[in-house]
Copies of this chain bind each other. A is one copy, B any other.
Amino acid sequence: MYPENPLSKFVNDLASRAPAPGGGGAAALAGALGAALTSMVCNLTIGNKKYAPYEEEVKAILTAAQDKLTQLQAGIDEDVQAFNPVSAAYGMPKGTEEEKKARSAAIQEALKKAAGVPLEVAKLALDVLELNLRLFPISNVNVVSDIGVGVLMAEAALEGAALNVEVNLSSIKDEAFNEKMRQQLDPLRARGRAIQEQLLEMVEKRIKGQ
């Protein structure tokens, strides 16, 4: 829905009182921008004689980046769709004890499902960062700033998605579920930060001609 509509519609809906789209959708879009810049750098490396020895590897990175782009762009709408059942559950009646119990169970169930969407965005964003780690040494030096911006977008997507997972977990009472989610999320964040630090240092050095 959002990808086919004007860019300004997503931005304006994001800015509005409507709770969805929110930070989760913005994170997915940032991830898509990161994957798009990775693709651009591949496209501007492929066919350049200077990088001919690496052409097969760059083509493989391009295919992977385009796949991540597709999934992350779809993540914008998935985040909105995941919010609806949460909102519906909160709207359930809470007059009797039985109604209160049913409502609470429905909220917990919806929150668990909703938390899975940003976790998937975080995984995809880390995949984009890993692709840039492979791409940097064999990429066209003329588009070094585009690699750098792609890394910034992917890392902001990862951390933004992580905040959305965390905020869901803070309302989920099933501690075993939360523990399992954090065991998946925390290593993604640690790895993402390490890759960003390493790549941005290399980008700055290349810009300065070192």
Contact = CB atoms under 8 A, between A and B. Distances in A.
A40 B11 contact: no
Nearest to A8: B3
Given A14-B36, A15-B36, A33-B14, A207 B166 contact: yes
A130 interface: no
Residue of A15, A24, A43, A65 contacting most chain B CB atoms (<10 Å) = A15
Contacts of A209: 170
B15 A43 contact: yes
Copies of this chain, count: 2
A75 interface: no
A106 interface: no
Contact of A30 (B15, B30, B66, B164): B30
B163 A203 contact: yes
A5 interface: yes
A2 interface: yes
Chain A facing B: main interface SS: helix
Contacts of A129: none
Interface stretch (A49-57, A96-104, A148-156): A148-156
Interface string A155-179: 1100110011011001000000000
A196 to B, nearest CB: 10
Interface in A195-210: 200, 203-204, 207-209
Contacts of A15: 35-37, 39-40, 43, 65-66, 69
Contacts of A65: 15
A148 B2 contact: no
Nearest to A200: B159
